[in-house]
Structure 1
Amino acid sequence: MSMLTASIEQVIVPRARDLGGFEVRRALPAAGRQMVGPFIFFDQMGPTEFITGAGIDVRPHPHIGLATVTYLYEGEIFHRDSLGSELPIRPGDVNWMTAGRGIVHSERTAGEVRAAGSRLFGIQSWVALPADKEEVDPGFVHVAAANLPIVEAAGTRVRIIAGAAYGAAAPTPTLSDTLYADVALAAGASLPIDPGHEDRAIYLMSGEVEIDGIRHPPMQLLIFRPGDRITVTATVDTRLILLGGATLEGPRHIWWNFVSSRKDRIDAAKADWQAGRFAAVPGETEFIPLPG
């Protein structure tokens, strides 16, 4: 179990949830902490092994006021949305789907992947949009792994998923200051985390790190105090996500898949989904009903 130190403001142990043979671990939102920078939702998906013929089937469902961000270590998910986007995401790629005033999407395991049996391991996060950008037009951007910058030093490999860090910037479109990176550390390697971003945290996917002389195991979100210069040292080969950015101007209302600074906007989105006023996803005939 992790301990709080001078550098660490909060340690969050994610809650495991079974989504029908598919486990996720939810680190955000958590008790006492709704967001880290703009990140308002952070799920570790898997690692899960699907037998032949099995996979994920997340039927079309709506979002407002956020961007969904999907990043995989293993496996493949086929994305479809109401803008007509239709493509697989594979390890190292990033899908950044801006819901804005409203979008609908599905996430499934494609037939050919199902037929072979597959594994799935990755992160799905939601980024809340600034209050003045919550109603932007919806958009979808897929950035292939080859187009995400990688910064390497002794025993350290950092792939920038979104935002800028270590002198490199990802082409992923963000609407507020964002820090998001996939970090691999060899045993004994250190990662400096400077105070350039207001909020900073790491989520340990695997391995173990030492900070201020205290060791921290995997599957924990460690949130750092603002303004401190931090050094994270891997005691064994380690994989972690670095996340954060500027604190948003206020808290958010969250209900189902809707995020907004205004409660009445959530109520309007509920009514719109119930009445079928969101755009449909081409090629899909199913949908997830509004929760009762």
Structure 2
Amino acid sequence: MSNLTRTAEQECDVIEGCGAIEVIVEPREKELGGFSVRRSLPSRQRRMVGPWIFFDHMGPADFPVGKGIDVLPHPHIGIATVTYLFEGEILHRDSLGSVQPIRPGDINLMVAGRGIVHSERERPEVRDSDHCLHGLQLWLALPAEDEEMAPEFHHYPSDGIPALTVGGVSLRVMMGTAYGVTSPVRTFADTLYVEARLEAGQTLELPDAEERAVYVASGSLKARDTEIPEHSLAVFSNRPGVSVEATGDSRIAIIGGEPLGKRCIVWNLVSSRPERVDRAVEDWKAGRFPKVPGDEAEFIPFPDK
């Protein structure tokens, strides 16, 4: 997805946690092209968790026949985008020539490196009927030594993502290593991303990570006596042996990994060097980024504010 303004940082409400919880961020809903988005990262309270610099929960959005998402071509540098859908489908196109429908359970990994342009739309077959879109999109900051790598595109079908059950809880290890299994999805630093579904009353011990957080996509949790509401991001310390309990049937994402240091974010452009972001802004304004084959006619202009 694309930011509508120059800054990606959002104002969020904060619940003071206790014990192993450092902070609980409650994102505010924002409209983006006809559907709602909740952005937990970056916020004024927490800019990153490990290498994760951006966390959007999009939808659920119901579209009638003929309507859907149309995110026009826009640029990225210095990150990798990770798109994961619960419902619906997105048609990904990028300046490498990639054309890939993203469906529920798949992982789409687009590595921007020194620069890539992509669009997110829908196939005509999807728009021909009423449909829903619901999912997560995250950005991974690249380590400084990889920020200027050549852009890449990787698509991982749902059946290739490791699934297992731990204490009765259904899990998928999306990225990194957790609960004794390793995802095939490419990483550039120590990275954690796990999806879990808990029934009311079930508990799950969080995997160890230098930094980590839990997002409640649906349902609600508690950690000891601290409630973690639906659509909130609880940032935990790295204390071992921490568990969460579902107070209702819940779907959660666990993210984390090693911190990579401060990043400058302007619009959709990220770098450890502010001057590099400034150069990318000027390159986009001057039309020096590559075009998206098959989607060359339109683009998102750099926002004025």
Which bracket does the TM-score occupy, shorter chain normalised? over 0.9
1:144 is aligned to: 157
Contact in 2 for aligned 1:74/1:120 (Cα 8 Å): yes
Once the two structures are overlaid, the 10-residue window that deviates more, 269-278 or 65-74, is 269-278
Distance 2:279 2:19 in 1: 44
Following superposition, the deviation at residue 132 of structure 1 comes to 1.1
Q: CA deviation at 1:2?
A: 5.0
Counterpart of 1:158 (choices 146, 171, 174) is 171
The yes-or-no answer on 1:209 pairing with 2:250 is no
Q: Residues 219 and 251 of structure 2 are in contact (CA less than 8 Å); yes or no, is this contact kept in structure 1? A: yes
Q: Partner amino acid for 1:129?
A: L
Secondary structure in structure 1 of the residue aligned to 2:215: strand
SS of the aligned residue for 1:270 comes to helix
The residue that corresponds to 1:253 in the other structure is: 264
What pairs up with 1:32-71 in 2 under 5 angstroms? 32-71=45-84
Please point out which of 259, 265, 276 is paired with 2:276: 265
What is the distance in 1 between the residues matched to 2:38 and 2:31? 9
Output the amino acid matched with 1:9. Answer: E
Bigger CA drift: 114-123 or 271-280? 271-280
Alpha-carbon distance between aligned partners in 2 of 1:91 and 1:225, rounded to the nearest angstrom: 31
> Aligned letter for 1:282?
P
User: What whole-Å deviation, never above 9, does each CA across 1:265-289 have from its counterpart, x for those lacking one?
Assistant: 0011011111211111100121111
* Per-residue Cα deviation, 1:121-153 (whole angstroms, up to 9, x for no partner): 100111111111100110010000000001213
SS at match of 1:24: strand
**What residue is the counterpart of 1:187 in the other structure?**
200
Please, which of 41, 66, 73 is the counterpart of residue 28 of structure 1?
41
TM-score normalised over the length of structure 1 = 0.97
Equivalent residue, structure 2, for 1:123: 136
Question: Please, which of 279, 284, 292 is the counterpart of residue 290 of structure 2?
Answer: 279
Equivalent residue, structure 2, for 1:18: 31
Does the CA contact (< 8 Å) of 1:69 and 1:94 recur in 2?
A: yes
Q: State the Cα distance separating 1:213 from its structure 2 match.
A: 2.5
Residue 187 of structure 1 deviates from its aligned partner by: 1.7
In the alignment, residue 245 of structure 1 is paired with which amino acid? G
Note if 1:221 corresponds to 2:233: yes
**Cα distance, 1:48 vs. partner?**
0.6
Q: Which runs of 5+ in 1 are unaligned?
A: none
1:3 offset after TM fit, Å? 4.6
The alignment status of 1:174 with 2:180, answered yes or no, reads no
Which consecutive segments of 4 or more residues in structure 1 shift more than 4 A? none
**Are residue 239 (structure 1) and residue 256 (structure 2) matched?**
no
Residues 34 and 190 from structure 1, CA distance in 2 versus in 1: closer, same or farther, beyond 3 angstroms?
A: same
* Contact 1:80–1:87 under 8 Å retained in 2: yes
> Is 1:103–2:107 an aligned residue pair?
no
Q: Cα RMSD over matched residues?
A: 1.2
Contact 1:198/1:227 (CA < 8 Å) preserved in 2? no
Number of equivalences: 290
Q: Distance in 2 between matches of 1:80 and 1:155?
A: 38
Q: Is the 8 A contact 1:17 1:25 kept in 2?
A: yes
Structure 2: distance between partners of 1:88 and 1:98: 17
Q: Quick check: 1:41–1:125 contact (8 Å CA) kept in 2? A: yes
Q: Which amino acid aligns with 2:265?
A: I
Q: Is the 8 A contact 1:164 1:170 kept in 2?
A: yes
Helix, strand or coil for the counterpart of 2:252? strand
* Unmatched segments (≥5 aa) in structure 2: 1-13
Distance 1:62 1:35 in 2: 21
Q: Is the 8 A contact 1:183 1:239 kept in 2?
A: yes
- The 3-state SS of whatever aligns with 2:83 is strand
